[in-house]
Structure formats: structure tokens, C-alpha cells
Amino acid sequence: MKLYLILLLPFVLFAQKPQLLLLQVYKDQNITNWVMSEKLDGIRAYWDGKQLISRGGKHIYAPKFFIKDFPPFELDGELWSKRDDFENISSIVRDKVPSEKWKEITYNIFEVPHAKEGLLKRLEKVKPYESDILHVIVQREVNSKDELFRFLSVVESKGGEGVVVRDPNVAYIDKRTSKALKLKSFKDAECRVVSFNHGKGKLANMMGSLTCRLDNNATFKIGSGFTNKERMDPPKVGDIVTFKYQEFTKYKKPRFPVFLRVRYKGSDL
């Protein structure tokens, strides 16, 4: 029994989710003298000094050429190629046998977990390791709400997802925090698919809607935003999907949810 536990332990450690910084939503907070950056729509990845791990705690099979010059300390960032390319990024990064397509991917750093001092000093640690693959995301000082929204407008006009705004003076935080906020022109969230519902009328023989569950255990249906191709081959039970909505009801359910994409497949990241 002791031998069995010893053999099992490395797998248990490997499967642990990293404790990382998580964003709250911008709601007109005072962000004077904070910093802002584009929110990249890729796959988040944590570098523990030896390997890349997904936010969910699973190994990312990056090729050796990709990680060979990474620093020996922790990093947190986004595996990304270009704007409006999430499906391609996801297919490359999820592949358990890394392909040549990894040459399209870069690792874009927005945090150095557990490093000392403020955000900008933490990111300075990464500068000597920058390359064609490893980038530090540029942080711009923001002095007013108008400046923040102008930047958001520029990012979205180029096909970007949104903006992240952060207090650069706080120490590293490994949980959801009001010191790091996301801003988009629409609200979005993630939910887990628990079932799908058959369509009727012109949607007969296709998926009509998904039943999803939020982290607060509220369930609701998403019936719009799907292409016919997605209705013929809908997300699977267990997948995490991203949707946009107007607001939450008093019952903590989203009003007018619209499907955007599959964020994580249940068996993957």
C-alpha cells in the first residue's frame, strides 16, 4: 500500500490547479494611476519553472523549442497568435502531440506569481527572457475613465476582446480581486453544459438550445448565437462555453444569453 501511494503522489500533485490571479468586472471604480492592457483571447497558461499548466491544472504539451529559453521562475500569461483566432489557438494548444503549428503561438506574460514588489517590477524580471516566443504584455498608465474607454474602443475596433485594468502597486494576489478588472463593451461569462435540447420547426433534427450551469449552480438555457454547423455538432456535456448577456436577474440567471464559443472541452484544458 505504501508503494502504491508513493507512485500515485506525483500524479496527484500534477493534477492540482494553480492558484492564480482572477479578474473582477469594471463597474466605474476609481482607476486613476492604474495601468491598462489589451485582454488577449487565447488559452491561459501557468509556467511553474519547468512546464506549462492550464488554469484547470492539466499539462500543456508544448514542444521543446517553445519552452527551452523560459525562465526558471513562475509565469502567468496567455498562449495567443492573433486577434479573432481562438479556435485555431485552442486546437494547437490542446493537441497532446505538439505540431509545427506551435510556431504560430506566442506566450504573452501579464504576471509573475509570488514575485515581490509591484506589478511593473514583477514584470521587469521577465524582460531579459523576452524573445520571438516570450513577450511581456505592455502596460499603459491610465489617468481617467475617458482614457480607459478610448483605449477599449481602439482595441475592439481592431478585433480585440477587451481591456484589463490593474492597480500596479499591490503585491501579487492569487485569487479574484478588485485590484484587477476586465472591461468589455458587452458582458460575458462561462458556464458548464449539462444537457442539450432538441430543436423544433426549422431546427428539427438539430440542437435547439443548451442547458448550462453557472458556478452559483443556477441553470439556464442558451438558444441563440449558434451557427447551423454548431447546431448539428453542438458542444458536449461537460464542456465550458462562453456566452454574452445583458444582466443577471434577481434569480442570478443571465438575461438574453447568446452563445459565443466553446472555451474548454470537458476532457481537455
Half-sphere exposure in the Cβ direction for 213 (13 Å, CA): 10
Question: How far apart (Å, rounded) are the C-alpha atoms in residues 151 and 37?
Answer: 9
Whether the per-residue pLDDT at 167 is higher than 90: the answer is yes
Helix (H, G, I), strand (E, B) or coil at 46: strand
Share of the chain above pLDDT 70, in %: 93
Whether the per-residue pLDDT at 225 is higher than 90: the answer is yes
Phi-psi domain of 54 (left: phi exceeds 0; alpha: psi -120 through 50; beta: other): beta
Q: Is the dihedral of CA 51, 170, 24, 110 positive or negative?
A: negative
* Contacts (Cβ under 8 Å, ≥6 apart) of 107: 45, 47, 66, 70, 75, 77, 78, 79, 133, 134, 135
Alpha helices in 56-187 (DSSP H): 64-67, 86-94, 119-124, 145-157
Whether the per-residue pLDDT at 41 is higher than 70: the answer is yes
Q: Which of 2, 17, 27, 39 is catalytic?
A: 39
Share of the chain above pLDDT 90, in %: 81
Q: Is 39 a catalytic residue?
A: yes
Residue 237 φ/ψ, nearest 5 degrees: -60, 130
Q: Which of 128-137, 220-229, 237-246 has the highest mean pLDDT?
A: 128-137
pLDDT of residue 15: 42
pLDDT of residue 266: 72
pLDDT of residue 9: 35
Give the pLDDT band of residue 77 (cuts 50, 70, 90).
very high
pLDDT (tens digit per residue) in 98-132: 999 999 999 999 999 999 999 999 999 999 999 99
Give the pLDDT band of residue 28 (cuts 50, 70, 90).
very high
Q: How many CB atoms lie within 10 A of CB 67?
A: 16
Whether the per-residue pLDDT at 8 is higher than 90: the answer is no
Per the confidence metrics, is the pTM higher than 0.85? no
pLDDT of residue 264: 83
pLDDT (tens digit per residue) in 143-166: 899 999 999 999 999 989 899 999
Question: How far apart (Å, rounded) are the C-alpha atoms in residues 253 and 76?
Answer: 31
Residue entry with cell 502597486: 169
Whether the per-residue pLDDT at 246 is higher than 50: the answer is yes
Whether the per-residue pLDDT at 1 is higher than 60: the answer is no
Mean pLDDT within 4-23: 59
pLDDT of residue 5: 37
Mean pLDDT within 221-242: 93
Amino acid letter for position 149:
F
Please give the order of strands across the beta sheet that includes 75-80: 52-54, 43-47, 75-80, 106-111, 134-136
Whether the per-residue pLDDT at 12 is higher than 80: the answer is no
Amino acid letter for position 239:
D
Helix (H) or strand (E) holding 159: none
pLDDT of residue 7: 36
Whether the per-residue pLDDT at 14 is higher than 80: the answer is no
